[in-house]
């Protein structure tokens, strides 16, 4: 496109642009400059431009380049060119084809300096590159942070094992992919006692060691996780053979039975394992439930064992949970109470003490013996609460009988391992203001010597400093060694009823009892024979040198009112009440 300029416009144009800060020129197609304002003259650093050609103003190469631009301008109507100065400055030249006053074509050019704009553009581009680099770095950090957050959300902080969330995710994956897996649900035995005795740092150390053991024992492809607290789960690929899975469970129980050392001390735990094998009617998440029921059975039958899930366990577990809820309610309603079994001096046959036994006055099932509720209470951490109730009521009731003039020299109370490990025990006992010799704690041999460590020793020593005696119940049924007896140094040991039952007929039973009495005498420990049911047993045991007798021959366990009446009877009257012949023979 050509623009026509009349003479008047050209004159006005010349006057207007002369003072413009932008270089402006007009030239013919023959490259003869007709006009150049002051800014253009400074731009080319020449004052005498008008009437001169491009080759006279610029060097030959530049003149040819500009002439080529002019040719394009004529054909296209306008063109844009770039100029670069030796000093680094940059320019843009806008050329427009016009009709000059004489009717011939010409070119008007306007020159813009863009050095600053270019520098700003480069600076902006550099800034954009920097921002892009920072954004990419931040994106990388965010991705790493996301991965770390995802890892933390799926792993246990103490052990580094997969956590419950990861386990649930893995179970869903197994269901989606149609994998056949077996599930092992593992619960640590006695872990709460480690926490209560040594503190949570020791507990965390034990958990880490357990996690290491599980990782070492498990097979390639097994998924090991900590479900929570002292419970773990392992998902195992199942190829149709149950034997390797059960072998793994047994190896876990064996390895975790070894003591774990912590700051020079031995922490003894153990493990019970419930196992659920894959079946067509059980999804992977249901297998975890099944393994939990099997674990429940393993804990019910005794710790440190493996139990394989079977369909009947569901009903057993529901009944167990129902009874556990009844225990909780029974504690709230004060339904647990002590019954008393008399202990008789073997030499004088006088009442020398009583043992307080737990009973439950159930509103629907009547009077329940410990065999109905102790195991459930232990599994649901209620046994220590029951112990505390029996102890408190027994002390209160026996003190009441003494205040009424009844001679009951000594009270023995059964104490579970949970209660002995309870950090509140000593404080609660101090509030009772016990007299020395007034109370003894009976601890089952299998509990005492299985659990014994420095913390238990300290607890027992603290009890003895308070004037509380220590008795070992059911002696001969566990694994107590002479070293263990020396460490604990009990005041009395009770010969288990299974030996007493055969003392009359069995020479073997008499030898065992005689050996126990000899050990006790050498360690200055008194001996009580429990489970005495006949006068013949009384006679043989007295001759063998036991210190006290206890059993249904003298009386079945009694409530408070019955005990008060029994305590008033003289020795011969009590024997006559048990057996008419007994009083005559004893006399």
SS (H, E, C) 111-130: EEECHHHHHHHHHHHHHHHH
For the segment 486-504, the average pLDDT, to the nearest whole number, is 86
Least confident of 71-75, 481-485, 508-512: 481-485
Q: Is residue 530 within 8 Å of 494, Cβ to Cβ?
A: yes
Pairing of strands 33-36, 265-267: unpaired
Cα 335 to its chain centre, rounded Å, is: 35
CB count in 10 Å sphere of residue 69: 16
* Confidence check: pLDDT of 134 > 80: no
The answer to whether 548 and 512 have CB atoms below 8 angstroms apart is no
Please report the pLDDT score of residue 587 as a whole number. Answer: 39
**Residue 264 has what pLDDT?**
80
* pLDDT tens-digit series, residues 310-339: 877 777 777 878 888 999 999 999 999 999
Query: Which two structure tokens, joined as six digits, stand for 458?
Result: 């300290």
Of 240, 310, 241, whose CA–CA distance to 274 is shortest?
Answer: 310
Element (H, E) at 360: strand 351-362
d(CA 324, CA 536): 42
What is the overall mean pLDDT for the chain? 84
pLDDT of residue 47: 86
Give the span between the Cα atoms of 549 and 538, in whole angstroms.
Answer: 8
The pLDDT value recorded for residue 450 is 47
Instruction: Compute the chain's Rg from CA coordinates.
Output: 50
Element (H, E) at 475: strand 469-475
Local structure of 328: helix, strand or coil: helix
Residue that is written with structure tokens 């007034």 in the block: 438
Residues 6+ apart with CB under 8 A from 560: 338, 340, 397, 401
Q: Is 78 helix (H, G, I), strand (E, B) or coil?
A: strand
Q: Where are the alpha helices (DSSP H) in 218-274?
A: 243-255
Could you say which of 1.10.150.120, 3.30.70.270, 3.30.420.590, 3.40.50.920 is the CATH number of the domain covering 164-311? 3.30.70.270
Which pLDDT value is given to residue 88?
73
Does residue 35 sit in helix, strand or coil?
strand
Q: What is the pLDDT of residue 453?
A: 52
Whether the per-residue pLDDT at 458 is higher than 90: the answer is no
C-alpha to C-alpha distance for 118 and 137, rounded to whole angstroms: 28
Q: Please report how many Cα atoms fall inside a 13 Å half-sphere around the Cα of residue 200, on the Cβ side.
A: 2
Q: What percent of the chain is helix, strand and coil (3-state, nearest 5)?
A: 50, 25, 25
What own/partner pairs with CB < 8 Å and gap ≥ 24 does 248-252 have?
A: 248/184, 248/217, 248/218, 248/219, 248/222, 249/184, 249/273, 249/275, 249/306, 250/306, 251/217, 252/184, 252/186, 252/213, 252/214, 252/217
Instruction: Tell which residue, 543, 539, 450, 549, has the closest CA to residue 494.
Output: 549
Q: Which of 378, 209, 54, 406 is nearest to 370 (CA)?
A: 378
Residue 251: pLDDT over 70: yes
Q: What is the mean pLDDT of residues 548-565?
A: 93
Specify the residue for token string 């039958």.
301
pLDDT at 348: 92
Residue boundaries of the structural domains of the chain = 3-113, 164-311, 330-586
Domains 164-311 and 330-586 equal at CATH topology level: no
Q: How far apart are CA 117 and CA 90, in angstroms?
A: 9
The answer for residues whose C-beta is within 8 angstroms of residue 364's C-beta and 6 or more apart is none
Q: What's the residue count for the chain? A: 587
pLDDT tens per residue across span 50-92? 999 988 888 888 888 889 988 999 888 889 888 887 777 787 8
Average pLDDT for 242-270: 90
Return the CATH superfamily for domain 3-113: PAS domain (3.30.450.20)
pTM over 0.95: no
Could you please state the CATH topology (level 3) that the domain comprising 330-586 is classified under.
TIM Barrel (3.20.20)
């Amino acid at each position: 496109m050509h623009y026509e300029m009349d003479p008047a416009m050209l004159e006005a144009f010349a006057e207007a642009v002369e003072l413009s800060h932008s270089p402006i020129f007009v030239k013919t197609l023959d490259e003869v400059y007709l006009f150049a304002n002051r800014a253009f003259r400074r731009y080319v650093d020449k004052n005498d431009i008008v009437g001169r050609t491009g080759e006279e103003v610029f060097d030959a190469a530049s003149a040819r380049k500009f002439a080529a631009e002019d040719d394009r301008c004529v054909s296209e109507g306008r063109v844009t060119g770039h100029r670069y100065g030796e000093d680094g400055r940059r320019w843009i030249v806008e050329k427009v084809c016009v009709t000059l006053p004489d009717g011939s074509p010409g070119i008007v050019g306007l020159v813009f300096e863009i050095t600053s704009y270019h520098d700003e553009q480069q600076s902006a581009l550099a800034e954009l590159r920097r921002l892009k680099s920072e954004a990419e770095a931040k994106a990388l950090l965010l991705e790493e942070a996301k991965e770390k957050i995802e890892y933390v959300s799926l792993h246990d902080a103490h052990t580094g094992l997969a956590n419950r969330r990861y386990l649930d995710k893995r179970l869903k994956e197994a269901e989606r992919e149609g994998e056949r897996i077996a599930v092992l649900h593992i619960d640590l035995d006695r872990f709460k006692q480690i926490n209560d005795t040594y503190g949570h740092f020791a507990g965390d150390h034990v958990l880490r060691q357990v996690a290491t053991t599980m990782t070492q024992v498990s097979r390639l492809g097994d998924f090991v996780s900590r479900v929570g607290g002292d419970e773990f789960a392992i998902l195992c690929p199942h190829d149709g053979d149950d034997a390797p899975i059960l072998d793994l469970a047994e190896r876990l129980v064996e390895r975790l039975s070894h003591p774990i050392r912590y700051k020079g001390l031995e922490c003894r735990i153990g493990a019970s394992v419930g196992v659920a094998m894959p079946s067509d009617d059980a999804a992977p998440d249901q297998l975890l439930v099944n393994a939990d029921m099997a674990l429940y059975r393993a804990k019910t039958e005794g710790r440190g064992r493996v139990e394989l899930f079977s369909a009947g366990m569901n009903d057993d577990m529901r009944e167990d949970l129902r009874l556990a809820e009844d225990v909780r309610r029974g504690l709230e309603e004060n339904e647990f109470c002590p019954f008393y079994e008399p202990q008789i001096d073997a030499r004088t046959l006088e009442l020398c003490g009583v043992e307080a036994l737990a009973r439950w006055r159930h509103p629907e099932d009547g009077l329940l013996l410990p065999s109905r509720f102790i195991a459930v209470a232990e599994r649901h951490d209620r046994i220590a609460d029951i112990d505390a109730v029996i102890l408190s009521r027994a002390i209160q009731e026996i003190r009441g009988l003494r205040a009424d003039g009844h001679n009951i020299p000594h009270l023995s109370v059964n104490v579970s391992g949970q209660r002995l490990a309870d950090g509140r025990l000593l404080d609660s006992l101090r509030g009772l203001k016990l007299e020395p010799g007034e109370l003894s704690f009976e601890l089952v041999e299998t509990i005492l010597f299985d659990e014994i460590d420095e913390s238990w020793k300290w607890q027992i020593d603290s009890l003895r400093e308070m004037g509380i005696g220590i008795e070992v119940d059911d002696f001969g049924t566990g694994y107590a060694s002479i070293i263990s007896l020396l460490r604990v140094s009990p005041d009395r040991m009770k010969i288990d009823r299974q030996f007493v039952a055969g003392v009359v007929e069995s020479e073997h039973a008499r030898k065992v009892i005689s050996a126990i009495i000899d050990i006790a005498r050498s360690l200055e420990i008194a001996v009580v024979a429990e489970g005495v049911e006949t006068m013949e047993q009384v006679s043989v045991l007295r001759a063998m040198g036991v210190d006290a007798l206890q059993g249904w021959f003298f009386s079945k366990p009694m409530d408070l009112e019955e005990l008060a009446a029994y305590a008033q009877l003289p020795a011969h009257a009590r024997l006559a009440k048990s057996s008419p012949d007994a009083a005559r023979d004893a006399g």
